[in-house]
Amino acid sequence: MMAMAVILSFLFPLVGTLILAFSAGRLGPRASATVGVGSVGLAALATLWAVLTHTGGSQGVTLWNWISVGDFQPTIGLAVDGLTLVMMSVITGVGFLIHLFAAWYMTGEAGITRFYAWMNLFVFSMLLLVLGDNLLLLFLGWEGVGLCSYGLIGYYYQNSANGQAAFKAFVVTRIGDVFLALGLFLIFMELGTLDIATILARAPELWEPGSTTANLAALLVLGGALGKSAQVPLHTWLPDAMAGPTPVSALIHAATMVTAGVYLIARLNGLFLLAPDVMLLVGVIGAASLLLAAFAALAQTDIKRVLAYSTMSQIGYMFLALGVGAFDAAIFHLVTHAFFKALLFLSAGAVIISCHHEQDMGKLGGLWRKLPVAYGGFIVGGAALVALPLVTAGFFSKDEILWQAMAADQTGLLIVGLLGAVLTGLYTVRLILGTFHGEPGSDHARHPEPGTNVFTHHLPLVVLAVLSTFIGAWIYPGLGELFPQAPGETTDSGHTLLQVLAMGAAIAGLALAGWLFLMRRQWLDDIARKGAGARLWTLWHHAWGFDALFDRVLVRPWQWSVRMLRFDFINMIMNLPAVVARVFNAGLVRAQNGRTRSYALVMVFGATLILVALALAPGGGA
Q: Of 369 and 597, which has the nearer Cβ to other proteins?
A: 597
Minimum Å gap between C-beta 604 and other proteins is 6
Q: Show the site string, 541-580: x = touches other proteins by CB under 8 A, - = not.
A: ----------------------------------------
Instruction: Determine the Cα–Cα distance for residues 364 and 375; give it in Å rounded to an integer.
Output: 13
Instruction: Report the distance separating Cα 93 and Cα 40, nearest Å.
Output: 8
For other proteins, give the closer residue by CB, 160 or 596: 596
523 vs 599, beta carbon nearer other proteins: 599
In angstroms, the CA 221 to CA 204 distance is 17
Residue 23 exposed, middle or buried by CB count within 10 Å (0-12, 13-18, 19+): middle
CB of 598 to other proteins, least distance (A): 9
Nearest to 373 by CA among 337, 346, 341: 346
Question: Would you count residue 622 as binding other proteins (CB under 8 A)?
Answer: no
Residue 614 interacts with other proteins (CB under 8 A)? no
**Which of these ranges, 47-55, 133-141, 224-232, 598-606, lies near other proteins under the rule CB under 8 A?**
598-606
Size of the site for other proteins (CB under 8 A): 12
Report which of 507, 550, 351, 375 is spatially closest to residue 441, judged by C-alpha positions.
351
Among 4, 475, 601, 609, binds other proteins (CB under 8 A): 601
Contact flag: residue 592 with other proteins (CB under 8 A): yes
Binding other proteins (rule: CB under 8 A), the pick from 24, 589, 617, 622 is 589
d(CA 38, CA 189): 43
Give, in order, the Cα–Cα distances in Å from 316 to each of 151, 179, 292.
26, 20, 10
Residue 613 CB, nearest approach to other proteins (Å): 19
Segment interacting with other proteins, rule: CB under 8 A, options 272-280, 342-350, 509-517, 592-600: 592-600
Round to the nearest angstrom and report the end-to-end CA distance of the chain. 95
Of 93-101, 405-413, 440-448, 585-593, which part binds other proteins (CB under 8 A)? 585-593
| CB 73 within 8 Å of CB 45 | no
Q: How far apart are CB 552 and other proteins at their closest, in Å?
A: 51
Residue 297, C-beta contacts closer than 8 angstroms, at least 6 positions apart? 305, 306, 309, 310, 313, 423, 427
Residue number, 558 or 605, with CB nearest to other proteins: 605
Provide the minimum distance between the beta carbon of 615 and other proteins in the complex, in angstroms, as a whole number.
15
Report in angstroms how near the CB of residue 597 gets to other proteins at its nearest: 6
DSSP string computed for 498-558:
HHHHHHHHHHHHHHHHHIIIIISHHHHHHHHHSHHHHHHHHHHHTGGGHHHHHIIIIIHHH
Contact region for other proteins (CB under 8 A) — 8-16, 388-396, 445-453, 586-594?
Answer: 586-594
Peptide bond into 618 cis (omega under 30): no
Torsion of CA 38, 44, 49, 53, to 10 degrees: 160
SS3 134: strand
Is 31 exposed, middle or buried (CB count within 10 Å of its CB: 0-12, 13-18, 19+)?
Answer: middle
Rounded to a whole number of angstroms, the minimum distance from the CB of residue 595 to other proteins is 5
Least Å from the CB of residue 575 to other proteins: 23
Least separation in angstroms between residue 594's CB and other proteins is 3
Residue type, 24: A
Closest distance of CB 602 from other proteins, Å: 10
Judged by CB under 8 A, which of 595, 619, 620, 622 binds other proteins? Answer: 595
Binding status of residue 590 toward other proteins by CB under 8 A: yes
Candidate ranges 216-224, 362-370, 439-447, 583-591; the one touching other proteins (CB under 8 A) = 583-591
Q: Which stretch binds other proteins (CB under 8 A): 158-166, 223-231, 271-279, 593-601?
A: 593-601
616 binds other proteins (CB under 8 A): no
Q: Give me the residues that bind other proteins (CB under 8 A), please.
A: 589-597, 600-601, 604
